Every structure is written in C-alpha cells, then in structure tokens.
Amino acid sequence: MNSTQSAQAKPNLRIAIIALGVLTLDQTTKALVLRFLGFTEEHVVVSGLFKFVHWQNTGAAWSLFRGNNGWLAVVAAVALVILYLSRHHFESRSMLGQVAFGLVFGGITGNLIDRMFRKHVIDFLYFFIQGGTGEIGFPAFNVADSAICTGVGLVFLVTWQAERKARATPQRGTK
C-alpha cells in the first residue's frame, strides 16, 4: 500500500469503526426492547416526560410513508452507496467529518437491518409532555435515528466551516 492509499485508508477506517459502534449500540438496544417490552408496552422512566416504548414503524421519520418498508429499505441501501461514493465532496477528511459520516452510515445500516429482517423499524425512545388533555409527544425514535440526525447536522456544520474558511483565505495570485 502506498502512502496515498494509506492516508485515505485511515479516514475510511475511522468512519467504519464509528459506524460499527453505532450499529452495535443500535441493534443491542433494540434487542433489549424486544426482550423486555412487549409490542406497544411502555415503561415510564421520568413521569410526564420520558418513557421507553415498543413501537414498530414501517414508515420513515414521523411515520411518513407508513407501510412502505420495502421501498424505504431500497432507498436506504441506495443512500448508503451514494453517500459512500460522494463522501469526499464533504469534509470527510477531518476528524469531525469522519465522526459525522460514521454516525450516518451506522444509523442508516441499523434501520436497514430492521427493515430487511424484521420488516419494520423498532422505535423505543419517547419524550412527551403530560397535558390536561393527554400526552403531547415527539415521535418515538431509536439510536440509529439519533445517529443519523446528529451525523447529518455535523456534515452540514463541517461543510459550512470549510466553505467559510475557504472564503476567508485569500486566493493565490489575487490581491
């Protein structure tokens, strides 16, 4: 392996290690939900604020496109390929960029595994506010969802920082 290949392999290895960590945490927490909570069962952790639930989602975020698990699995697989091939267009060479892509890859893979083998995604983290007329809650989510959202946010951040830095750096040959 030459020095250029070695230099490129290190960021890819970091991305893969982070993705594997996210995937392991995601699948482990979902296995615990399957073991300790029956379908639709809930366990209040913080009264009036947070509980573990066992909900099945055949849609995307906020249950959009519910019932389209197969198509969403295809979209996720295509997204993984496109993200892998286009990662160099984003700041994947920086450590923060590698963390971002590791989070996104691990999260997409975690939910894709659910879609392929369970035919739905397991959501189990549920934040809500108990009101006079009932609960008002944020849609339930899982570790993979959190990783995807955090990773995408970090990709935007590192890309924005890099563009800002490039604009602030004078170009050669200009005054």
User: Active-site residues: which are they?
Assistant: 123, 145
Residue 89, token pair as written in the block: 């267009």
Burial class of residue 86 in the structure, from the number of CB atoms within 10 Å of its CB (0-12 exposed, 13-18 middle, 19+ buried): exposed
Residue 112, token pair as written in the block: 């894709």
Cα 139 to Cα 57: distance, rounded to the nearest angstrom: 11
Neighbouring-strand partners of residue 126: 51
CA 42 to chain centre: 24
DSSP classification of residue 60: S
Place of tokens 């392929």: 116
Cα 29 to Cα 123: distance, rounded to the nearest angstrom: 10
